[in-house]
Amino acid sequence: MARKTKTVRKRAAKPAKRKSAAPKKPDALDAFIAAAARALELPAQKAWLPAIKANLRVTLQHARTVGAFKLPDTAETAPVFKA
């Protein structure tokens, strides 16, 4: 009985070790922010990253909402808007 318990413990410990040893894979937005900050020479400090990510996620979500709207190829922009 005692031997059995020992074996179970050993097996349980192994996968946990592997999991903590493996490098955490950054998600796509983290990687994008890191690359964009470098390319645009923006000083995105580590402590700022969660807020930048949260804001970018919301903005991109809004952009996707707009992007999902079908417009004809001939649609014109309104950069200088005239009411």
Distance of closest approach, residue 72 Cβ to other proteins, in angstroms: 9
Cβ proximity to other proteins: between 8 and 59 the closer is 59
Tokens of 22: 């493996």
Distance separating the N- and C-terminal Cα atoms of the chain? 84
SS3 11: helix
Nearest alpha-carbon partner for 56 in 28, 16, 17: 28
Distance of closest approach, residue 27 Cβ to other proteins, in angstroms: 15
Cβ proximity to other proteins: between 16 and 75 the closer is 75
Cβ proximity to other proteins: between 9 and 41 the closer is 41
